[in-house]
A = this chain, B = another copy of it.
Amino acid sequence: MPHQTFFNLPDAKRSRVLAALKAEFAAHPYTQGSVDRVTAAAGISKGSFYQYFEDKRDAYAHLVGELMAARLQVAGTPVPQAGLAEVLTAQVHASHDFHARDPLGWAVLCRAFSDDSPVDPTATGAAATLHQWAVAAVTAGQRSGELRDDVEPETAAWLVERVLTGLPQHVMGRFGVTPEAAAADGSAFDRPQIDRVAADAVAMLVRALAPAEP
């Protein structure tokens, strides 16, 4: 956890530090991220950095935690009563919205899920909630007969999360959008082809979890 000094900071300065952290870990995976570059970008001294944070990991964990919270706020956690297709589509759209709102933050979370991160984003408080929510949603769906019940809820939830979390990177790779470009151009994802990919993925997930036809 960051030291109190960090929270005592004037808002402007604190958000400058957060922005610098975000830019750094959007451009580099955790181990490659440099405290020196962060302090230079934030316009603070290295000594100050270590008065704000316990260490590099502490700063990174705080950043990821904040971003996960923001991401979850966009997505909305409560188990909805809608059908699975609607829920999944909403998740995909939430990812899209979050990217449009905070492209750098989105890139950081992408990395946190794929690179070697000292912080397991699925264990970072809010996101553990996300996973439990997914498992709960699947279990509930199974009980109501809306979802097939011949697979373990854990496995089903994993598969859904696995596909959803990989989707952004897949479309980026497939359509040649780099994280930097995506960050610079908020509309880089406004393409019908990309919507098509997302729709296909959702359709396949829905079918994967649908109960067997009698």
Which A residues lie at the B interface, using CB under 8 A?
Answer: 29, 31-32, 114-116, 148, 150-152, 154-156, 158-159, 162-163, 166, 170, 174, 196-197, 200-201, 203-205, 207-210, 213
Given contacts A32-B116, A115-B116, A207-B207, contact A162 B170 (CB under 8 A): yes
**B residues within 8 A CB of A209?**
204
Closest CB pairs A-B (n = 9)? A208-B208, A204-B208, A151-B200, A155-B200, A213-B213, A29-B116, A115-B116, A162-B166, A155-B197
> In the assembled complex, how far is the CB of residue A93 from the closest CB belonging to chain B, in whole angstroms?
17
Cα–Cα distance between A164 and B110 once the two chains are bound (Å): 20
- State the oligomeric state as a number of copies: 2
Cα–Cα distance between A101 and B77 once the two chains are bound (Å): 43
Cα–Cα distance between A162 and B204 once the two chains are bound (Å): 13
Given contacts A32-B31, A163-B163, A208-B208, contact A200 B115 (CB under 8 A): no
Cα–Cα distance between A32 and B29 once the two chains are bound (Å): 12
**B residues within 8 A CB of A200?**
151-152, 155-156
> In the assembled complex, how far is the CB of residue A30 from the closest CB belonging to chain B, in whole angstroms?
9
Cα–Cα distance between A155 and B155 once the two chains are bound (Å): 21
Closest to A198 in B: B155
Cα–Cα distance between A200 and B31 once the two chains are bound (Å): 35
Interchain residue pairs with CB less than 8 A apart (24): A31-B31, A31-B32, A114-B114, A116-B116, A148-B207, A151-B204, A152-B197, A154-B174, A155-B196, A155-B200, A155-B201, A155-B204, A158-B170, A158-B174, A159-B204, A162-B163, A162-B166, A162-B170, A163-B163, A166-B166, A204-B208, A204-B209, A207-B207, A207-B208
